[in-house]
Chain A
Amino acid sequence: MHSFGYRANALLTLGVTVLALMCAMASLSDNINVPSPSANVQVLNVNWFQKQSNGNDEVSLTLNVSADLRSMFTWNTKQVFVFLAAEYETTKNSLNQVSLWDGIIPSKEHAKFSIHTTNKYRFTDQGSNLRGKEFNLTLHWHVMPKTGKMFADKIVMTGYRMPEEYR
């Protein structure tokens, strides 16, 4: 009953159990945090707007993204992945989500930011539906924990509109 094997086994079991419990509790403690983020996005300029040779509309935008995501960070937060997506509906597609910009926020100190950027990924439609199209810009964030459950949420900003003509 008191052999080395039994003691090692008991110690290992206890260690793993305690570690698992601590991970679970750290993950559960994230639920206590109620974040209050804010975001503001401006389309500063439409750099160009054209129809590609394959018939898809493509547009290049200059954006100003400012947000305050400091309230996301808890002691179990490893990083926050934040991205801005253009979302719109066309006759063919009930939903189009095109990521325009993204970033990784490693710590609370960097969570209040204001960025001036052109779209990082190509803003291309499936088809030629973008002229005069109304679209939403949505700031999404995915909270990556040190351990446990991942969280995601978003702020939808409405009322953006494409130019009527190619330029």
Chain B
Amino acid sequence: MGWIGETMDSIKSLQIRQVLTQAVSLGMIVTSALIIWKALMCITGSESPVVVVLSGSMEPGFKRGDILFLHMSKDPIRAGEIVVFNVDGREIPIVHRVIKVHERQDTGEVDVLTKGDNNYGDDRLLYAHGQLWLQRHHIMGRAVGFLPYVGWVTIIMTEKPIIKYILIGALGLLVITSKD
């Protein structure tokens, strides 16, 4: 009898150990993703280091589904740079090019006007009512790098949430059922 009890115990402990390892490895995946994201935030100085292009207003340079890497340094903003900005009263940030800059002599504050390469007119129509210029605090970062197509993954997932759930479910199942 002692022998059977021992085996039962060993099986039980093995299962618990396996479940624990799987939980730990799942936790590792999630936390390492978080670590990478937060590290990117620290390095780039931008609150969202990577953005997905959602509209065609910068075509043919940036198409829908491309991703941009942002950098927010202390350097002053200059004409020609592609900046990501938030307008008061708008949820989604916009990626457009700076066409006019006026920098104050005394305070160093800037007035910036932007335009999408593919748009006919400048962005004053997109700004808050009566707003003529963007200031420094509207700007989240400037685009420094570019990777095509990768952003489609997030666009599809936000527009078709069912695919997201299927994907998460399948991955979860895989992690749980996988041996060693």
Contacts and interface: CB of A to CB of B under 8 A. Distances in A.
A95 B178 contact: no
Given A104-B117, A144-B61, A97 B101 contact: yes
A64 B74 CA distance: 35
A5 B174 contact: yes
Given A94-B105, A144-B61, A85 B79 contact: yes
Interface string B117-158: 100001000000000000000000001111110000000000
Contact of A98 (B100, B103, B108): B100
Contacts of B105: 90-94
A65 B178 CA distance: 65
Interface in A61-111: 78-79, 81, 83, 85, 90-99, 102, 104, 106
A126 interface: yes
Interface residues of B, number: 30
Nearest to B104: A93
B29 to A, nearest CB: 13
A99 B99 contact: yes
Nearest to B99: A99
A59 to B, nearest CB: 14
Contacts of A104: 60-61, 117
B174 A148 contact: no
Contacts of A90: 105
Given A79-B61, A91-B105, A94-B105, A145 B99 contact: no
Contact of B104 (A23, A78, A94, A97): A94
A23 B147 contact: yes
Interface residues of A, number: 33
A95 B147 CA distance: 33
B102 interface: yes
Contact of A147 (B62, B76, B111, B146): B146
A2 B148 CA distance: 34
Contacts of B143: 150
Contacts of A95: 76, 101-103
Interface string B59-72: 01110000000000
B174 A93 contact: no
Contact of B102 (A83, A102, A126): A126
In the A-B complex, list the 5 residue pairs whose CB atoms are closest, starting with the nearest. Answer: A99-B99, A97-B79, A97-B101, A95-B103, A94-B105
Interface of B: 60-62, 76, 78-82, 97, 99-105, 108, 111, 115, 117, 122, 143-148, 174, 178
8 contacts: A23-B147, A81-B80, A93-B102, A93-B103, A93-B104, A96-B103, A98-B79, A121-B122
